[in-house]
Structures are given as C-alpha cells and as structure tokens.
Amino acid sequence: MKNLTYFGIAIAVFALAPIFMNDAVLYMLGLAFIFTVYCVSWDVIAGYTGQVNLGHTVFIGIGAYTTALLSTSRIPHPEMPVFLTIFIGGIVATFFGLAIGAVCLRLKGYYLALVTAILPLIFIQLTNIYSGIFGGYEGFSIPFSKSLPGGTLGNYYISLVFCFSCLLAMYIFVNTNIGVKLRAVRDDEELAEAVGIDVVKYKLIAFCVSAFFAGLAGALAVHYKLTVGVDFFSIPLMLEIILGVIAGGIGTFYGGAVGGFLIYIAENWIFIQLASYVNTFLPFRVSDEMILYILLIVLIIIFPQGIITKIAEFLSGIDKSEIKIFR
C-alpha cells in the first residue's frame, strides 16, 4: 500500500509539472519517462534474475523499427492506428526475446554477456545491408500524421501515463510468485534448481517480459521523435541504461526507475553544460559522453549497490537488508 502511495504522489507531481515548465523541458521530461522504462525493463532481467544482458537495446530497436515500418510505406501493410503499431512493436520484440533467450540463456556469466553484447552490432549491420527498408545508418523519418496526438503537452502526458503504467505492471510482475522464483534463481541458481525451480523457464519468462516493455518503449519513442535510426541499437544507449540502473541500485526496482530518470536528465542537461564549462580551461576536449562513462566507472567502484540505496541506508540508519521501501 505504501509503495502505491509513492506511485500516486509521483504521478500527481508530474501531472502538475506542465504548469511550471516550458515546452523544451516538457519534451525532455517525456523522453526521460521513456528512458526510465528502458532502465526498469533491463533491471527485470539483470537485477531480479541475475542475467547480464548487454544486448537490451536489441529489443528497444526492434520495437522502434517495427512501429516505424508499420507507419510508412516501406513495406506493404494495412493502415493501422498509431497505438496499435506501438503494441505490435512490443509483441515483435517479445518474439525476438523468446528466440534469443531460448539460445542465450543456457549460457552463463561472461559467455552470456559476450553473446548479448554482439547482438546490437549485428542488427546495426543489418539496417545498413537492407538500407532500402531500414534506411541504413541514417535511419528514416515517419510522417507527422503518425505523431502522438496533442502536441508537446499531449506527448508529455502520453509518455507519463505510459511510463507509470509500465512501471506498475513490472512492479506487480516482480512481486508475484514468479518474481520470488526469479530472485531465487538470482541468489543461487543451483539451489533453485535443486528445489524444483525450472531455471531456464523462469529466466526465459523474465527475458520476454523485459523485451516486451523495452520494445513498447522503443516504439513509443519513435512516434515521440518522429524518426528512427541505429541509435536505438547503440552501445552508448546500453551504457546509459546500465548507468541509470546502477546509479539507483540494481535489483531494487525503485532504484532503477529513479536512477534512470535522473541520469537521463543529467546527461541531456547537466553533463552538456558541465562539459562546455570544463572545455574552457582544459587542453583537450571533454564530451558529455566521456563524463557519463567516467561516472559509470566511479559508481561501480564506490557505490556498487546504488546511490539511492546508500541514501536510504543513511536516512534510516539501519542495515541495507532491512530496507523495504526500495524493494
């Protein structure tokens, strides 16, 4: 009940935000909501199941390209409403998640990480090989008629509702009996298997759920920005997602949501200004992405459990294992 109260407070705060903010800020916040879904959907497989999936952007990109192709005449298809193409993007990403997971999830540790890390690179090359369909490295735009309704304000509220709907659905999922089994697999895979848990089956369920919400978010982002390109598959995007989850606290749900939102805001606002300031007196150029990657390294070394978790520990004055608010 307390957790649902926090959801309600957050929704109320963001619902009132447009009163105090201009269109540019609202546009950025809308994209931050979508990025938050990227992060939490990755946390479902990495944080709750313990599987190091470095190819999460594959599902984001598949969802994005699916809805983009269904919104243009690049492939033959019947006319579809915008929100139907977004949902189909999530479904197609889920099927790819099922296929990829059935093969990759039998691998463990570094082998799983290596194979999944290669997958986005394969899809990026495919977009170039079949550039007539996928637009090559530059991608392509979708018609303005396929944008989300309501202009900047409408986009903001659609993104807000989408974000909190996805977060609520994933929160319910990780707190069901399936979620308990996923955590058992994460904590001790051999023991989980010994007590009768079908480890591969539950890994695959988590992989498909993660892929579905990532695909939905990628599809929504296309109609938000009216363009699609290989940046949806990119390694920098994957690193940003990892940073968002680690900053908040992997496997804590709320940590991934808060950390992902703040990291997106920081990267697209604070880090850009910081890089501009630093470059005024350094003999070499520093980009905002460099600051982002340095921060990722620092967080992994100093705060492996996440800043949000550390703050909760400090405020409560109790052991981390006793903190329930972020779990």
| Nearest alpha-carbon partner for 102 in 204, 206, 239 | 204
The beta strand positions in the chain, using DSSP E, are 140-141, 227-228
Global pTM? 0.89
CA distances, 181 to each of 31, 43, 49, 148, 177 (Å):
33, 16, 9, 38, 6
| Rg for the chain, CA atoms, rounded | 20
| Nearest alpha-carbon partner for 69 in 134, 146, 145, 129 | 134
**Crossing angle for the helix pair 235-248 and 307-316, to the nearest 10 degrees:** 10
Q: Cα(31)–Cα(285) distance, rounded to whole angstroms?
A: 27
Q: CB of 174 within 8 A of CB of 166? A: no
DSSP letter assigned to residue 267: I
Q: What is the pLDDT of residue 212?
A: 97
**Crossing angle for the helix pair 235-248 and 23-46, to the nearest 10 degrees:** 80
Q: Cα(260)–Cα(152) distance, rounded to whole angstroms?
A: 22
| Nearest alpha-carbon partner for 23 in 153, 148, 149 | 153
| Nearest alpha-carbon partner for 156 in 15, 54, 293 | 15
CA distances, 92 to each of 5, 131, 140, 196, 293 (Å):
34, 20, 20, 31, 31
Tell me the β-bridge partners of 228: 140
Place of tokens 């950025």: 28
Q: Cα(198)–Cα(178) distance, rounded to whole angstroms?
A: 11
Q: Cα(12)–Cα(7) distance, rounded to whole angstroms?
A: 9
pLDDT tens track, the chain, 327 positions: 556 677 788 888 899 988 888 888 999 999 999 999 999 999 999 989 888 889 999 999 999 999 999 999 888 888 899 999 999 999 999 999 999 988 887 777 778 888 889 999 999 999 999 988 998 888 899 998 888 988 899 999 999 999 999 999 999 999 999 989 999 988 888 888 888 888 889 999 999 999 999 999 999 999 999 999 999 999 889 988 998 898 888 888 888 898 899 889 888 887 777 777 777 777 778 777 777 778 777 777 777 667 766 666 666 655 444 444 334
Place of tokens 């018609």: 143
